[in-house]
């Protein structure tokens, strides 16, 4: 199966058309949600660190820590970050688990354990496996990286709270589906599962009147705090 990417608005439009053709139920979802926005972030080590920084924090808090981190290391390079003292990183606002995660990612890149350029060319499931093999990169973080940093059209964050709730409403389910059920639900959408994710986040926003942004139901590194609603991770 070839890998598809969403680099332009035209890519997104074409992918939406193919997705709705594959599953006509999504036509009603698209009509209610409107066309989702195409949002992209920087890829590579910086992109992974930005996602780790934003886990379980408000948009404002995450942005403040991220900005301090990037300003402290200019240019932002994995060698500089992995060699930095933990105390220095803590003063920037990073928690101990997040410090451990970003240093472990930097070390993995430096030692050639992972090649993020190679990950870019992989199909979604293979790329997901390569990323989650690293310390501090759980399934949700891996899929958010694939979606927003690489534009992978088939990444599917099945453990995302907002997507689970959106699917429950959109398909009239009695209760919110867990990650396993979300994975099964999305099989029919391959190779456009990531497009479905963008659409369902937009649908969440339309029906809930609050930001339909990525929120992990669970994370591998630390226990999530209870959320008052979907908060932006992008």
Each residue's pLDDT, cut to its tens digit, for the chain (234 residues) gives: 678 999 999 999 999 999 999 999 999 999 999 999 998 899 999 999 999 998 777 788 889 999 999 999 999 999 999 999 999 999 999 999 999 999 999 999 999 999 999 999 899 999 999 999 998 899 999 999 999 999 999 999 999 999 999 999 999 999 999 999 999 999 999 999 999 999 999 999 999 876 556 767 654 433 333 333 433 333
Length reported for the chain: 234
pLDDT for position 212:
55
pLDDT for position 2:
75
What are the structural domains, with CATH classification, of the chain?
A: 9-39+154-208 (1.10.1670.40), 44-149 (1.10.340.30)
Please choose, from the candidates 26, 41, 56, the residue with its C-alpha nearest in 3D space to the C-alpha of residue 166: 26
pLDDT for position 209:
76
pLDDT for position 221:
37
pLDDT for position 208:
84
Dist. CA 7–CA 232, nearest whole Å: 21
Long-range contacts of 158-162 (CB under 8 A, 24+ apart): 158/182, 158/183, 158/186, 159/216, 159/217, 159/218, 160/197, 160/214, 160/215, 160/216, 160/217, 161/215, 161/216, 161/217, 161/227, 161/230, 162/200, 162/201, 162/204, 162/212, 162/213, 162/214, 162/215, 162/230
Please choose, from the candidates 167, 170, 6, the residue with its C-alpha nearest in 3D space to the C-alpha of residue 16: 6
8 A C-beta contact, residue 212 and residue 227:
no
Give the phi and the psi of residue 144 in degrees, each rounded to 5: -65, -35
Enter the pTM of the model.
Answer: 0.85
pLDDT for position 218:
52
Q: Sort 6 into a burial class: Cβ within 10 Å, 0-12 / 13-18 / 19+.
A: buried
């Amino acid at each position: 199966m070839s890998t598809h990417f969403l680099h332009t608005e035209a890519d997104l439009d074409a992918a939406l058309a193919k997705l709705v053709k594959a599953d006509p139920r999504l036509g009603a979802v698209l009509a209610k949600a409107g066309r989702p926005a195409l949002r992209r972030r920087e890829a590579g080590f910086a992109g992974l660190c930005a996602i780790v920084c934003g886990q379980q924090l408000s948009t404002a808090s995450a942005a403040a820590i991220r900005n301090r981190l990037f300003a402290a290391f200019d240019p932002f390079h994995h060698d500089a970050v992995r060699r930095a003292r933990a105390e220095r990183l803590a003063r920037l606002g990073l928690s101990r688990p997040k410090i451990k995660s970003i240093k472990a990612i930097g070390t993995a890149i430096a030692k050639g354990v992972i090649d993020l350029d190679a990950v870019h060319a992989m199909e979604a499931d293979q790329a997901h496996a390569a990323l989650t093999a690293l310390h501090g990169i759980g399934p949700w973080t891996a899929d958010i990286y694939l979606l927003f940093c690489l534009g992978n059209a088939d990444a599917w964050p099945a453990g995302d709270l907002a997507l689970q709730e959106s699917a429950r409403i959109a398909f009239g389910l009695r209760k919110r589906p867990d990650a396993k059920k979300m994975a099964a639900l999305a099989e029919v959408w391959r190779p456009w599962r990531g497009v479905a994710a963008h659409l369902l986040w937009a649908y969440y926003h339309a029906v809930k009147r609050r930001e339909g942004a990525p929120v992990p139901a669970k994370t591998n590194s630390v226990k999530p705090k209870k959320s008052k609603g979907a908060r932006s991770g992008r």
